[in-house]
Amino acid sequence: MLQNVDDPPRKFVLDVVSGCIEHKKMLDVVVNAFYGQNRNWLSKSDRNQFVIVCYLVTFALDELGLQEFGNIVETLGIKKMHLFLNFFFSNLTSWIQEEWSGVYEADFVEKQWILPLLGWRPEINILMDQLAAKISRRSQVKKAKVKTTQPQEFTLTKPKPRPRPRPLPQPELIPQQEKFKPVPKSTYTDPNELQILEEIKEKNHEKAEDRLYEANKKQFRCVNPEKSEHTKKVIAQIEQDLDSKLKFNSFHSSGLPPSIKADSCSVKLNNAAILRREALNDRQVEEELQRIERLLQGAREPSSFLQWQREMLERDLQEKLPMIERRRLEARIGGEEAALVRQRITERNQKAAQLKKEETAQLMQKYAEKRMQEEKELRDLVRHVAEGHKNSKAAKEKIQKLKQNIVKEVSEQSQELLRQALEEQQEELCRKYQIIREIHSIESLPRIRPNNFRDTETAGHELLGEMSLAELKERLALLRQAERAEQEERRGHILEEKQRRKQEMLEKLDTIELHRRVLAKAAANRKEEKKAKQEFLQQVVAQDETVLALRKKLEEKKLERKRLKQNEKSQACKRTTAHTGTHSEESLKVQSWEELERSLARYIQDDSPS
């Protein structure tokens, strides 16, 4: 297309296209934001036009001049170009400059592009006023009604002239308001203190019921004093002697089953586990034999050294345990002090939050009253507009009924034609189905084929190993019989080997069980010794004076924290009782405002022209 164009226009077009590609990032910032605000009525096919206009305004306005630029804008569409130029120049020094500064350096953007565009601002404002005037004139022309030829009746009186329609006002630009912070969810929800109080009430109620039950159960306990332990033992002995003399139901008794069987294994082991356990026992026995042999040869027994080492470790542990206990108690005391500090901070924050909630509730009340007044004015305006649309609504309903009648007649004709075509197709299918049935009946007739085969005769190919079918079957049966006999013999050998291995595993398992019992007995002795040592160390720690003082201090801190917690709960109950009254009034006002808004929406939907 550009080959038939002169050199200057072709060069200008190529420069514009290359410039749009080079500065694509900064041009997309403006065009994407423009489409984000006006996506409902803008077409995606016009995007390239907005990109070119943005490039011409930013880079080629000095070269083109205002007159040529205005001609280009008018050819592309007055209304959308007026809206785009207004959007571009109104946001030029705000977020557009910030976005361009993110792509290029801020000083370069301000000197090369922002300042020159601000210099062209007065001329651009004049151009935008001209475009707005043209838009208003076109809207007036479009709104004028077309005169139609209508028959006139004889009039005895001269009708009054109709007033000329007033021109529509120019569209006003909607200012962009700053986004307000959303109202926190805690304003419309009940506080957590109410739920906590309900749980505490339920727990106290359950405790009271339990105590009442115990009191009713033990109310006559003072009249029936309990018997002593000696008396209880004597009564139990007498009852046992009397029960032992009753023999008429003794054959039903089977006795208590043993809790632990002596001969059973605690864990069922497979063959691999048994072999591993046997190898471990053998290795332990070998090590013990080697140790005894070294002792016989004159080696020294390390038991005395180990005994001395254990005694020294126990002495060190006795010295360290009081220190460890003191550190633990000091850490718990520090934790209690930190908890007290946290409770005080939480109480101070709750007071500040309560003040903030009261201020927010007052602001919400004022906002709801203002919004209800605005909705009332809007409802009146919608009622006036709906009354003007009733006449057009009746004409549209009449045209719609006429179209429905035409569509109904056309659909009846088309259904009749379809019915005829369907009947013809059905007759054709029946005829084809009858022909197919005749062909299938002919094919299903049996065919008689002679069979002259004899299994005792050979095929007659004159080969060395040629045999008849009967001889082949007999030899195959002999081979199968020999194979079954061989399988039975192998199965017998396998069963014998399996039984022998099973017996060996049982013997090994008995040896392992014996070894396990010896080790369990030694471990139980060591456990008892260790338990006795731990009890002795605990007694030593409990008698330390420093530990006793720290424990007393810890109990005092716990009591202080519980006292603060009880005070905080009582204050929370008072605040919640005062807050529920104000919160219910605010919720009623908000619900009434929402009900008015829903009724207004239903009214607008019912009165709008279909």
DSSP assignment letter at 266: S
Number of residues that make up the chain: 610
Q: How high is the pLDDT of residue 271?
A: 80
> Which of 114, 115, 49 has its CA nearest to residue 84?
49
pLDDT at residue 588 above 80?
Answer: no
Q: Is 452 helix (H, G, I), strand (E, B) or coil?
A: coil
- pLDDT tens digits for range 309-355: 777 887 777 777 778 877 877 887 877 888 888 878 888 888 888 88
Give the CA count within 13 Å in the CB-facing half-sphere of 312.
6
Identify which of 21-30, 175-184, 585-594 has the greatest average pLDDT.
21-30
Rounded to whole angstroms, the Cα distance separating 580 from 117 reads 59
Q: How high is the pLDDT of residue 250?
A: 47
Query: For the residues 85-93, what does the mean pLDDT come to?
Result: 84
- Beta carbons of 15 and 4 less than 8 angstroms apart: no
CB-based burial of residue 53 (10 Å sphere; 0-12 exposed, 13-18 middle, 19+ buried)?
A: buried
- Beta carbons of 56 and 16 less than 8 angstroms apart: yes
Q: Which two tokens stand for residue 595?
A: 């009900």
Q: How high is the pLDDT of residue 1?
A: 47
Sign (positive or negative) of CA dihedral 70, 76, 80, 84: negative
Residue 92 burial (CB count, 10 A): 19
Residue 124 burial (CB count, 10 A): 20
Q: How high is the pLDDT of residue 299?
A: 65
Rounded to whole angstroms, the Cα distance separating 38 from 473 reads 92
What are the Cα distances from residue 458, in Å, to 46, 155, 452, 466, 475? 92, 126, 13, 7, 15
Residues with Cβ within 8 Å of 441's Cβ and at least 6 positions away in sequence, in order, are none
Return mean pLDDT, the chain. 77
**The dihedral formed by the CA atoms of 191, 197, 203 and 208, expressed in degrees to the nearest 10:** -160
DSSP assignment letter at 39: T
Place of tokens 């557009």: 96
Higher pLDDT, 599 or 482: 482
Domain map (residue ranges) of the chain: 2-142
What are the Cα distances from residue 456, in Å, to 145, 411, 468, 473? 112, 80, 5, 11
- pLDDT tens digits for range 547-579: 777 777 878 878 887 888 787 777 766 666 655
pLDDT band at 225 (very low <50, low <70, confident <90, very high): low
